[in-house]
Amino acid sequence: MPCWPCRQTVDVMTERGGYDYWLLAVAAVLTAIGVLMVYSSSSIMAAEHYKDGFYFLKRQGSFALVGILLLLAAMRIDYHHLRRLAALGLLISAVLLALVLVPGVGASAGGAARWIRIAGFTLQPSEIAKVALVLFMAHSLARKPEKNLRTFKLGVLPYLVILGMMLVMLMLQPDLGSSMTMGAVALGMMLVAGSCFRHILVSILPALPALYVAIWRVDYRRRRMLAFMDPWKYPSDEGFQITQSLIAFANGGWKGQGLGQSQQKLFFLPEAHTDFIFSVVGEEAGFIGVLTIAVLFLVLVWLGLRIAWMAPDEFGRYLAFGLTLLLGLEAFTNMAVVMSLLPTKGLALPFLSYGGSSLVVSLLAVGILLNISSQIEGGKS
């Protein structure tokens, strides 16, 4: 069997069948903060463009309700049943990624075609594809004995082929942020399962020239990299978004300007209610608010990893690890981007950014983690 750290006894564990209610509480608090901040960051813009200051609040509230219902369902469905959907889910997500590129079916925004429009709402297939890939890899990795995982042919190559096909479709949208996230999660799961690090490293090296071309040879991405190195040198074009974000954090200071009092959301900061909502948190809630959100995500990741550590079988461990890595990586990448610690990427902040696909999928992931926690010997993780 693949090597995994020894499971430890935790004081808070009780009888078998108990859910990790700390994880549920953290997800609920983040979702509530997200709905509140979506309203705060979008009400003026919504009133200007849609003649309804509650436009985005009502939609995000609807998304949250759908996500909560899926969470409640997922936490009650034995996660082992998900194995039957592993291959089908991956296939469906690949079809959805392909449909995004079909004229008349896919919806575009900001020069990228990443959505499918359905009955007045948009679906972002990349969010579904991330979870589908985690589920498939957890199922496949759990089936293989350690000796197979240590070989390149069985332990690395099949996953690189599948990952490569998914990344090609994502890059055609184009969506470099989701591509890098999906790649990092897949490689992380392979390493944890026991795949040979040397094989993975040798496989990654040939992809570096392609990554260089994708970033440096594409004009708008090159400009973003230059703006990342010195955003104040390009304050009116490629550096505009990040400089406005930094101004928002500076305005917030320690305690913030107060809920609803952000100045940068007044048509200065682009995507204030989506990718850059954390900047509005910084301006309105200050360093205290920023630290609170960061700590909540750290606790969520710690709880998720603890569930993975204590899970009753390999499938549960890999599934919990993959979902936790996905949520944590997206969260801290988004926060790093808006604080100019990483180049600008189009990644949502889980639970907080406006958008149904991200919120619903994030809550679904928490529901699966909760079900895994309920099946740990001794009870809650």
Residues 318/142, Cβ–Cβ less than 8 Å: yes
DSSP-derived secondary structure letter, 81: G
- Cα-Cα-Cα-Cα dihedral sign, residues 2, 74, 366, 338: positive
Element (H, E) at 108: strand 106-109
Average pLDDT for residues 317-331, to the nearest whole number?
Answer: 97
Q: CB atoms < 10 A from the CB of 222, how many?
A: 13
pLDDT confidence tier of residue 111, bands split at 50, 70 and 90:
low
Give the C-alpha separation, 146 to 155, whole Å.
9
- Could you tell me if residue 295 is inside a domain? yes
Give the C-alpha separation, 122 to 13, whole Å.
41
Give the C-alpha separation, 376 to 380, whole Å.
7
pLDDT confidence tier of residue 279, bands split at 50, 70 and 90:
very high
Q: What are phi and psi of 334, to 5 degrees?
A: -60, -45
| pLDDT at 378 exceeding the cut of 90 | no
User: pTM (2 decimals)?
Assistant: 0.90
Q: In what order do the strands lie in the sheet with 106-109?
A: 106-109, 112-118, 121-123
| pLDDT at 163 exceeding the cut of 70 | yes
Give the C-alpha separation, 53 to 40, whole Å.
10
Q: CB atoms < 10 A from the CB of 221, how many?
A: 18
Q: What is the pLDDT of residues 333-354, one digit of tens each?
A: 999 999 999 888 778 999 999 9
Element (H, E) at 112: strand 112-118
Can you tell me whether residue 239 is helix, strand or coil? coil
Can you tell me whether residue 254 is helix, strand or coil? coil
Residues 237/308, Cβ–Cβ less than 8 Å: no
Q: What are phi and psi of 106, to 5 degrees?
A: -75, 150
**b/e string for 174-194 if b means 16 or more Cβ within 10 A?**
bbbbbbbbbbebbbebbebbb
Q: What is the pLDDT of residues 56-81, one digit of tens each?
A: 999 999 999 999 999 999 999 999 99
Cis ω for the linkage preceding 174 (within 30 of 0): yes
Residue range(s) defining the domain that contains residue 40: 21-374
| pLDDT at 308 exceeding the cut of 60 | yes
- Could you tell me if residue 380 is inside a domain? no
Give the C-alpha separation, 351 to 60, whole Å.
10
Q: CB atoms < 10 A from the CB of 108, how many?
A: 13
Pinpoint the alpha helices (H) of the chain: 21-50, 55-74, 86-99, 125-143, 146-149, 152-155, 157-171, 176-193, 197-204, 207-216, 219-229, 240-252, 277-310, 314-338, 356-374
- Could you tell me if residue 381 is inside a domain? no
Any idea what the Cα angle at residue 51 is, between residues 45 and 56, rounded to 5°? 55
- Could you tell me if residue 147 is inside a domain? yes
- Could you tell me if residue 3 is inside a domain? no
DSSP sequence for 86-106: HHHHHHHHHHHHHHTTSTTTE
- Number of compact structural domains in the chain: 1
Give the C-alpha separation, 344 to 240, whole Å.
11
- Could you tell me if residue 182 is inside a domain? yes
Residues 375/142, Cβ–Cβ less than 8 Å: no
Rg of the chain taking only CA atoms, in angstroms: 21
- Could you tell me if residue 225 is inside a domain? yes
Q: What percent of the chain has pLDDT over 90?
A: 59
Note the pLDDT of residue 379: 47
Average pLDDT for residues 111-123, to the nearest whole number?
Answer: 75
Element (H, E) at 122: strand 121-123
- Could you tell me if residue 11 is inside a domain? no
Give the C-alpha separation, 50 to 57, whole Å.
12
Residue that wins the pLDDT comparison between 9 and 320: 320
pLDDT confidence tier of residue 49, bands split at 50, 70 and 90:
confident
- Cα-Cα-Cα-Cα dihedral sign, residues 66, 107, 329, 256: negative
Residue that wins the pLDDT comparison between 83 and 12: 83
